[in-house]
């Protein structure tokens, strides 16, 4: 089901991981950002758009993770974009003979048989340093940064004052580090880029890749919360006050605590090198 979060901007949320697909209304159709994640959900999304008279005219993948670069035939054959780095990562993955098996092996078992992979990752890279998305619709600024994944980008839908954050600023997931040489600093840089891009703007809504949409006050809180978590990792402290941690308080999301413990070990290993 689509829910309007601002003028001309709607969100469709998946059941399992609370993935948010963003729909932006344009002059002759709609832009989709990170459509996901199961066949049933993507078919539902396509049906909802058809009922609204909104053909899909463009799409954007905020980064190359499996759940952000999916597609379904019911959505049509619109051009799909990502940053140059994102597109290169996806092309390299699909060039490997066993890419489909490797990808399928990493899917949550609950949806492994219901996730469309045929058109996964077929993304065209924007020109390096592209400032805006090329499509027939409202101006959308591309905010590329190195946090979380190669070629990650947020989008700022300028007329609607909506920030599409990709896999950051979530109220259900902790910051997830990339496997780069300095993932801590990369993540902090990503947060600074989001902060700078929204400075002085009365943001109508911020949409994380997973979790609930928030307003301007909560946006600042989430930026501060993500920064606090990353600082705690770097300093070897336990972010005990982080509400996204604590399996007993969040049934069904116990794996986030496991993710955190893995990141603690990863940062410790980096500190030993």
Residue 156 pLDDT? 98
The pLDDT, as a whole number, for residue 98 is: 97
Over the stretch 121-145, which tens digit does the pLDDT of each residue have?
A: 999 999 988 999 999 999 999 999 9
Q: What is the rounded distance in angstroms from the CA atom of residue 179 to the CA atom of residue 114?
A: 28
pLDDT higher than threshold 80 for residue 91: yes
Domain annotation for the chain: domains and CATH numbers: 2-272 (3.60.15.10)
pLDDT at 248: 60
Q: Which pTM was predicted?
A: 0.96
Q: For position 129, what pLDDT does the model report?
A: 82
pLDDT at 247: 65
Task: Report percent pLDDT > 90 for the chain.
Answer: 92
Dump pLDDT digits (tens) for 48-61.
Answer: 999 999 999 999 99
CB–CB of 223/193 below 8 Å? no
Over 90: is that where the pLDDT of 147 sits? yes
- φ and ψ at residue 103, rounded to 5 degrees: -65, -45
Rg (Cα) of the chain, in Å, rounded? 18
Q: Helices 216-235 & 255-272, crossing angle to 10 degrees?
A: 50
159-173 average pLDDT score:
97
Helix pair 255-272, 183-198: axis angle to 10 deg: 120
- Per DSSP, the three-state class of 4 is strand
DSSP, collapsed to helix, strand or coil, labels residue 77 as: coil
pLDDT at 241: 84
The predicted pLDDT at position 232 comes to: 96
Residues 49 and 56: their CA atoms lie apart, in Å, by 8
pLDDT digits (tens, 9 = 90+) for 191-245: 999 999 999 999 999 999 999 999 999 999 999 999 999 999 999 998 878 999 9
- pLDDT, mean of residues 102-121: 96
State CA 193 to chain mean position distance.
Answer: 15
């Amino acid at each position: 089901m689509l829910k309007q979060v601002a003028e001309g901007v709607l969100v469709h949320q998946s059941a399992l991981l609370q993935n948010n697909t963003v729909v932006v209304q344009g002059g002759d159709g709609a832009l989709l950002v990170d459509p996901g994640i199961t066949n049933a959900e993507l078919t539902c999304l396509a049906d909802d758009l058809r009922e609204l008279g909104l053909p899909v005219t463009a799409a954007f993948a905020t980064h190359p993770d499996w759940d952000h670069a999916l597609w379904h035939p019911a959505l049509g054959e619109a051009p799909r974009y990502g940053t140059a780095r994102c597109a290169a990562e996806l092309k390299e993955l699909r060039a490997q003979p066993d890419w489909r098996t490797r990808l399928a092996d990493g899917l949550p078992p609950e949806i492994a048989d219901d996730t469309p992979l045929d058109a996964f990752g077929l993304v065209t890279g924007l020109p390096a340093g592209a400032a805006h998305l090329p499509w027939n619709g409202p101006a959308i600024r591309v905010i590329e940064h190195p946090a979380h994944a190669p070629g990650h980008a947020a989008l700022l839908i300028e007329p609607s004052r909506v920030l599409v954050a990709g896999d950051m600023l979530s109220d259900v997931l902790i910051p997830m580090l990339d496997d780069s040489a300095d993932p801590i600093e990369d993540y902090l840089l990503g947060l600074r880029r989001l902060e700078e891009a929204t400075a002085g703007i009365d943001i109508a809504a911020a949409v994380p890749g997973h979790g609930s949409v928030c307003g301007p006050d909560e946006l600042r809180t989430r930026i501060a919360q993500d920064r606090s978590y990353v600082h705690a990792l770097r300093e070897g402290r336990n972010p005990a006050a982080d509400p996204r941690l604590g399996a007993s308080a969040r049934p069904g999301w116990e794996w986030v605590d496991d993710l955190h413990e893995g990141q603690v070990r990863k940062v410790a290993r980096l500190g030993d090198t």
